Structure 1
Amino acid sequence: MLCSKMTTTFWIFFFPFLLIKHKAISGRESSASVSSILIFGDSTADPGNNNYIYTPFKSDFSPYGRDFFNHSATGRFTNGRLANDFIAKYIGLKEMVPAYLDPSLTIDELISGVSFASAGSGFDPLTPSISNVIPLSDQLSHLKEYRQKVEAVVGEAKAKEVLSNALFLVSAGTNDFVVNYFTLPIRRRSYTIPRYIDFVSNGATQFLQELLDEGARRIGVVGLPPMGCLPLVITLFTNHPILDRGCNEKFSSVARDYNKILRKELDALQVRVRSSGARIAYLDAYTPLEEMIIGHKYGFDVVNSGCCGTGMVEAAFLCNRNSPVCDDASKYVFWDSIHPTQKSYHLVFQSFRPALDYLVGN
């Protein structure tokens, strides 16, 4: 009991110094008011939470992570770092964002930021049930659990301060359309595309309100990518996918329509919460990826198939130790048939920087 009290006293006393010590490894001072980075969503934001649940949608094996630190497969669905890892470094917190479910996390790692995201999840409650992954409602429950863990160490007032000064990032929606609506028949029986866009965008807005209710005051929301350019979409929804590897305009137009609605919803939400000092920003992933793929910007050699295997269908367990892999992933926009390479994620992150500066007050 005495040891426990001494440990709690230690963390309460030294907690402010933990926040001060976080500096950008790039040499840039940490944004003084940013205490933590807290992330929600799908495989674009999951650094390995799916490692700890029963689901086939995992990537904790090679060749995933081939270009990550120590060449380790952490559960990130790419060859290296995700955009959120670059963001965490940019705002001066850490080199990479760990998975919340990782049992080896230290209190310092927990306080400075984690990801609750789960590959395969989405704003539609039906979507995560398809792959048996963590729904956003449970990710929110994990946030509440996270707050309790922080409170136990630094007290209620400091825990509240951590959340109010944290950068929240939300990245989801692609699975709702590609996996759920267009691949399975259930939602298509009840929703037209415009109605499903409204349904998903309303789910996103509701989730953001729940984050605000939990104390979030800086939230960045990532829009959909050009979904018709995902190699898997080209393969599954093109008449001659071997000969014609061009983007599927139908899917990309849905992404654009959704992003337009989402931006309006975010603007309206920003107006409603302005008096509280909250800041909400749209993070555009569509434009930089379109520039890489269609605009042939940044000099990629391969834009319509992934580095792993044939690059047309492989993802998760289909991209595995027995899969042939390209020699240089930096020449590819995509690592597997769905997910960008580390280089692509870095370019997407760079496009986020103006919005990030707004959120963190730079």
Structure 2
Amino acid sequence: MISSMGKTSIFSLLLLLLFLSGTIFIFQAKAETLNNAGKNSVRAIFVFGDSTADPGNNNYISTAFKSDFPPYGRDFSNQIPTGRFTNGRLANDYIAKYLGIKDLVPPYLDPNLKIEELVSGVSFASAGSGFDPLTPRIGNVISLSKQLEYFKEYQLKVAAAIGQEKTGELIRNAMFLVSAGTNDFVVNYFTMPIRRKSYTISAYTDFCLQNVQHFLQDLWDVGARRIGVVGLPPMGCLPVVITIYADHPLTSRGCVESMSSVAQDYNRKLQNQLNATQIRLAANGSRIAYLDVYGPLAEITSQGRKYGL
């Protein structure tokens, strides 16, 4: 059985592999905008979302959703936990390193960040957050709307240091990653009674996707042009879900298929929505991509021995 920590690490690795195997090319600038052949124009990365993308912002707020203690961080050379919900790097750290931007994407709320770190990108993500405005309130974490406010604040800080024109160019050529949604279902809808009283699961899925669309529009309005949106994992295979919702969690640790089917439905709708958005905005220079993690994670979960697990 794969532990929750192991799943976080696998998630990071898989997302990296997805980018390296082709998705990343969606974010490359048009060839005519490159000064040198083969040189990637992406020089900054900005990340929004939940624990899959939070490098430590929750260290600086009052919440129980923290990971600034062992065994988190055990794969770093100093084995010091950073606030990442994994034993090492997050997916966005690997992506930033692959692009030659930086080794680690820092949390925006770190008060010690210097302008050199800011201009190459930061993460605004907060563990426990989600697209439903109610979700971050459950854990007293940073909502996506607040993350966007922080990004606007970031723009002002950077513009004061390098000028408005350079800041605008930086944002236009940056990569934006959005990774959230699992908490909306696992922490919110299926655990708390509030949303279930007002929404069927299908209606709630549509509600969350409407909020995804609004958030992407907000990102577009503040200058984002290259955006990757991560789909949901097989939620029924998460250890916490198996423990709470499986019929016999002590004797049988199989995935809860009904929960995973919700993720599949969400992902199908999300992919169609993103494709439509890309078509609509393509003429304006947008690059919007759906990033699938469900398929690879489902295969690893069902065929763990094949991958040495």
TM bracket (short chain): 0.7 to 0.9
Q: Corresponding residue for 1:112?
A: 120
Does residue 48 of the first structure (1) align with residue 56 of the second (2)?
Answer: yes
TM-score (norm: length of structure 2): 0.86
2:287 is aligned with 1:279: yes
Q: Give the Å deviation of 1:33.
A: 1.0
Q: Does 1:82 align with 2:107?
A: no
Report the equivalent of 2:25: none
Change (3 A) 1:297 1:225: farther
Aligned to 1:193: 201
User: 1:296 maps to what in 2?
Assistant: 304
Per-residue deviation, 1:108: 1.0
Which secondary structure state, in structure 1, belongs to the residue aligned with residue 78 of structure 2? helix
1:37 Cα deviation from its structure 2 partner: 0.3
Code of the residue aligned with 2:227 in structure 1: it is I
How far does residue 92 in structure 1 lie from its aligned partner after superposition? 1.2
Q: Is the 8 A contact 1:66 1:80 kept in 2?
A: yes
Q: Deviations over 1:4-57 (max 9, x none)?
A: xxxxxxxxxxxxxxxxxxxxxxxxx99531020000000000000000000011
Rg: which structure is higher?
Answer: 1
State how 1:1-362 maps to structure 2 within 5 Å.
31-296=39-304, 299-301=307-309
Q: Which secondary structure state, in structure 2, belongs to the residue aligned with residue 70 of structure 1?
A: coil
Preserved contact between residue 226 and residue 290 of structure 1 (Cα < 8 Å) = yes
CA distance in 2, matches of 1:88, 1:243: 42
Q: Secondary structure at the match of 1:258?
A: helix
Contact persistence 1:128–1:134 (CA under 8 A)? yes
- Match for 1:128: what amino acid? P
Instruction: Give the superposition deviation at 1:299.
Output: 2.2
**Partner amino acid, structure 1, of 2:47:** I
Runs of 4+ in structure 1 deviating by more than 3 angstroms, as ranges, are none
Instruction: Write out per-residue CA displacement over residues 285-315 of structure 1, whole angstroms, 9 at most, x where no aligned residue.
Output: 11111121113365243xxxxxxxxxxxxxx
Closer, same or farther: CA 288–208 of 1 in aligned 2, 3 Å: same
The amino acid across from 2:190 in the alignment is F
What is the alpha-carbon distance in structure 2 between the residues aligned to residue 290 and residue 258 of structure 1? 15
Report if aligned partners of 2:40, 2:99 keep a CA contact under 8 Å in 1.
no
| Preserved contact between residue 57 and residue 107 of structure 2 (Cα < 8 Å) | yes
One-letter code of the match for 1:89? Answer: K
The number of aligned residues is 273
The answer to whether the 8 Å contact 1:181/1:187 transfers is yes
Secondary structure of the residue that 1:98 maps to in structure 2? coil
Deviation readout 1:221-248 (Å, 9 max, x if unpaired):
0000000000110000012101110010
What is the one-letter code of the residue matched to 1:58? K
Q: Distance in 2 between matches of 1:69 and 1:47?
A: 16
Q: Matched residue of 2:135: which SS?
A: helix
Q: Could you say which residue in structure 2 is the equivalent of 1:11? A: none
Aligned mates of 1:63, 1:207 — CA distance in 2: 34
Q: Provide the TM-score with structure 1 as the length reference.
A: 0.74
CA distance in 2, matches of 1:190, 1:140: 27
Residue type at the aligned position of 1:198:
D
In the alignment, is the contact (CA less than 8 A) between 1:85 and 1:96 conserved in 2?
A: yes
Maintained 8 Å contact 1:30/1:91: no
Residues of 1 paired with 2:214 and 2:77: CA distance? 36
Residue 28 (structure 2) aligns with: none
Distance in 2 separating the partners of 1:252 and 1:151 = 44
Give distance in 1, aligned partners of 2:199 and 2:39. 44
Unaligned residue ranges in structure 1 (runs of 5+):
1-28, 302-362
Residues 78-113 of structure 1 show CA distances to partners (whole Å, capped at 9, x for unaligned) of 111111111111111111111000111111111111
Shift of 1:180: 0.2
**1:31–1:294 Cα change, 3 Å:** farther
CA RMSD of aligned residues (A): 1.3
C-alpha contact (below 8 Å) 2:54/2:124 kept by paired residues: yes
Q: Kindly provide the amino acid, as one letter, of the partner of residue 51 in structure 2.
A: S
Overall identity of the aligned pairs, in %:
64
Give the distance between the partners of 2:306 and 2:92, measured in 1 at CA: 20
